[in-house]
Copies of this chain bind each other. A is one copy, B any other.
């Protein structure tokens, strides 16, 4: 657990030549929602910028700590692995991974040292010189007819995959639920229901099996709680004719 958190702390997001400052802010927010905090900006068009701050909302701290670098090499200083992200197929074949396949590898690498996730400029993407500095290529699966993933969306998907790959990436443990009804309680309800349906004429006592079977199947799927049994039996009681008149 501690180790995983520190793995995320060793992963930096590097944005190269970002054009819109709003995208920088949205990236900061996307990072922080998944527990990433280290942003590097290579030669951004405008930064700092009010639009970046606005789009970051609660992630202003990520922007404040962002490192602005003049070159990609500067942003990659001290890393042991640089991973490029692309939405289109490239000629030069680095080993190509989906984010899902890559995420556990990246977390494992981050145990050893700093890892960089590199994203190119919005329209032009990564240059070949930038790709040359990377050792892995990630491609997010997209609609082949419209692969135009927003910069922050691409960061969001990667950050999400990293978080989901954390050992504790599953959901927090089951919430407080009501007490499951016991076998006897459930059977008591079925008996009550059957009797009520016979009394009303809905159930033919000569062949009760099929209908009860269907109803058992329905309530079995619901996995009844004790309090729910009480409610259902209360409804049956209230609906039953009080006494013969």
State whether A222 touches B218 (Cβ < 8 A).
yes
**Copies of this chain in its oligomeric complex:** 2
Cβ of A91: which chain B residues have Cβ within 8 Å of it?
175-176
**A50 part of interface (Cβ distance < 8 Å):** no
CB-based contact A172/B89 at 8 Å: yes
Contact B160 A140 (CB under 8 A): yes
* Of listed A152, A153, A200, A218, residue having the most chain B CB within 10 A: A153
Cβ of B26 and Cβ of A150 under 8 Å apart?
yes
Distance between Cα atoms of A59 and B146 in the complex (Å): 8
Binding site for B on A (CB under 8 A): 26, 29-30, 32-35, 57-59, 89, 91, 93, 96-98, 100, 139-143, 146-150, 152-153, 156-157, 160, 163-164, 169-172, 174-177, 193, 196-197, 200-202, 211, 214-215, 218-219, 221-225, 227-228, 231, 234-236, 238-241, 245
Known: A139-B171, A141-B160, A214-B227. 20 other contacts (CB 8 A): A29-B148, A29-B153, A30-B153, A32-B146, A33-B142, A33-B153, A35-B143, A91-B175, A96-B171, A98-B164, A98-B170, A141-B171, A156-B156, A160-B160, A201-B238, A202-B235, A211-B231, A215-B231, A218-B224, A218-B225
Residue picked from A146, A201, A225, most chain B C-beta under 10 Å? A146
Task: Give 7 pairs: A residue, B residue, CB < 8 Å, sorted on A.
Answer: A29-B153, A33-B142, A33-B147, A59-B146, A141-B160, A200-B239, A219-B222
Does B221 contact A96, Cβ atoms closer than 8 Å? Answer: no
Do A148 and B200 contact each other (CB < 8 Å), given the known contacts A170-B98, A177-B93, A228-B214?
no
Give the residues in chain B near A141, CB-CB below 8 Å. Answer: 160, 163-164, 169-171
